[in-house]
Chains A and B, each alone.
Chain A
Amino acid sequence: MRETDIAVIGAGPAGLAAALACGESGATTLLVDFMDAPGGQLIKQTHKFFGSERQFAGTRGIQIPDIIMDQLSKMPNVALMWGTNASGYYADSGVLTLEDGARFIKAKAKRVIIATGAAEKPLAFENNDLPGVYGAGAVQTLMNVHGVKPGDRVLMVGSGNIGLIVSYQLIQAHVEVVALVEAAGRIGGYLVHAAKLRRAGVPILTSHTVVRALGEETVRAAVVAEVDQSWQVKPGSEREVACDVICLAVGLTPLVDMMWQAGCEMKYVPALGGHVPVRDENMRASNPAVYVAGDAGGVEEASSAMISGEIAGISAARSLGFEVKEADARLAQLKADLAAIRSGPTGEKICAGIKCATVCGGEW
């Protein structure tokens, strides 16, 4: 059986940042991802990041994995396993089971940082299972990673940052975005992204939803309708919009299976996307061998994922007696950066969710 001080599950923004902090501390670290290359969802984020230079502001998401991997690959105490599913965690022994398509591997870790990310939420409407109804992340993967056009005419559902950014990326890929519908009365994401769409002539229909997809084997149109303040469709407002893709950008839900396996105390927090582990301010779960990082602990975005990953990495290493340089100052700075990212109207909801998911008093 393989042994390591710390295992990091998932090599997206949170897992990469966590592994980097663990690596710096000198702890033996095993970073595992089921994809054949690191980066998680960064590999399709062609837009430039905001915020602080510490979280790569001004850099495109697609460039970040290489920057971090360059540092990780120079650390002899960090082992990388791609194309490897982390299929189980046995809380009584700290044993992880890994599977790489050919081999079944057991790895014993003193600490596990779970950075498994999130999955797209579906939306309930008639015929929502028709091919052509795609998650926004899937549309992004198809066009930005594989260079394949998802369709010719796209109806976008949801005006959060993902809906806005993916709409703009579709236009960059010469795909027509026929409209963006948003059930709420106002645009959810940053107005800087919404403005790009308006300049490109995309109608943004607030207080509208998709009620039905039309088509036999694939989508040929969508029926959209206006909704009132209690989210009910206004009679007579239904109209047909021709499209071959209905792109759902209606939120994500944390991938927490491994946290359930680890016996972590869980809580349903709608503001964070679903069930999340209760954690302390240093991202430690109720099982003291388990830390959570990134969207797996509550859906936000990549910048905050990198910060929570670094916090989890520093804290997990410390709990084993490994120190990173100026750990206290770094942790304070990271927490201040998180607070800055979570300021503003969207941040209020996140902050309320985080408060709800944090153990009383902030410490176990």
Chain B
Amino acid sequence: MVRLKNHPILDFPTGREVVFTFNGKDIKGIEGEPIAAALHAAGVRVLRHSPTLGRARGFFCAIGTCSSCLMTVDGVPNVRVCTEPLKQGMIVETQKGHGHLPIE
């Protein structure tokens, strides 16, 4: 567990606990926090692999500007998980390659 407690300045709001899946595995997080924060708290640091060289990619900027954390969420590729709020039942997957939009 790497969530902070007893901070000298901050009180962290404790939201509703929700369950989502990461590559099929159930993980608990707090509703509304960025998906990346929930993954990090669960010890997941590798968020994808680069499309060409297959190098591991993780969290980097946390404000939606760097594209390091793109993942597939509920079937939609290239979601910036550092800013995307977590919801109950989300299906979060490591993205393969550049990703394709699901077109019906």
Contacts and interface: CB of A to CB of B under 8 A. Distances in A.
A217 B56 contact: yes
Assign chain B's interface to a size class: 20 to 34
Interface in A117-151: 119-120, 129-135, 137-138, 141-144, 146-150
Nearest to A34: B64
A142 B37 contact: yes
A120 B65 CA distance: 9
A42 B37 CA distance: 19
A290 B3 CA distance: 43
Contacts of B2: 148-149
Which 3 A-B pairs give the minimum distances between C-beta atoms? A131-B58, A147-B12, A138-B62
Contacts of B8: 172
A36 B83 CA distance: 9
B4 A173 contact: yes
Given A130-B56, A150-B40, A144 B10 contact: yes
Interface string B1-45: 011100111101000000000000000000001100100110001
A40 to B, nearest CB: 9
B55 to A, nearest CB: 6
Nearest to B41: A148
8 contacts: A119-B61, A132-B45, A133-B60, A135-B66, A138-B63, A148-B41, A173-B7, A218-B46
B59 A134 contact: yes
Contact of B65 (A36, A130, A255): A255
A260 B10 CA distance: 39
Interface of A: 34-36, 41, 46, 60, 62, 119-120, 129-135, 137-138, 141-144, 146-150, 172-174, 217-218, 255
Contacts of A146: 12, 33-34, 37
Given A147-B3, A148-B2, A149-B2, A131 B46 contact: yes
A149 B7 CA distance: 11
Contacts of A137: 61-63
B85 interface: yes
A355 B41 CA distance: 45
A65 to B, nearest CB: 15
B9 A131 contact: no
Is chain B's binding surface mostly helix, strand, loop or mixed? loop
A217 B50 CA distance: 12
A142 B56 CA distance: 20
Contact of A131 (B56, B62, B65): B56
Nearest to A35: B83
B45 A131 contact: yes
B57 interface: yes
Contacts of B45: 131-132, 217-218
Nearest to A149: B2
A135 B65 CA distance: 12
Given A137-B61, A138-B59, A141-B63, 12 more contacts: A62-B10, A119-B63, A129-B57, A131-B56, A135-B62, A146-B34, A146-B37, A148-B4, A149-B2, A150-B40, A173-B7, A217-B46
A174 B82 CA distance: 23
Contacts of A46: 9-10
